Amino acid sequence: MKNNHKGINLKEENKMCVADRVEIVSSSNEELYGKIAEIIDIKTGVGGTDLKIKTEDGLELWIDAEDTVSY
């Protein structure tokens, strides 16, 4: 079955798509570190790739894709 979700390839081994789950590994916000979230949107531009995510406790935010890992 073909995946029709918007997706990105950060590196060959790290493909992310809308509806994928990620773990936040950002060291800039200790409260978010280690939380699990679902990707709900992806924006890619000159400055890099940002993910709009929703954490398991309902928090929605934009985060740099490099601050997450596939879960």
Higher pLDDT pick, 16 / 10? 16
Domain assignment present for residue 23? The answer is yes
In this predicted structure, the answer to whether residue 3 has a pLDDT above a threshold of 90 is no
What's the distance, CA 34 to chain centroid?
13
Q: Under 8 Å CB-to-CB from 13, ≥6 apart: which residues?
A: none
- Domain limits for position 45: 7-56
Cβ atoms 8, 16 nearer than 8 A:
yes
pTM of the model: 0.79
Domain assignment present for residue 45? The answer is yes
pLDDT in tens, 44-60: 999 999 999 999 999 99
How many domains are contained in the chain?
1
Q: How confident is the model at residue 10 (pLDDT cuts 50, 70, 90)?
A: low
CA distances from 69 to 3, 19, 53 (A): 20, 14, 12
Beta partners for residue 42, in sequence order:
51
Backbone angles phi, psi at 65, to 5 degrees: -60, -30
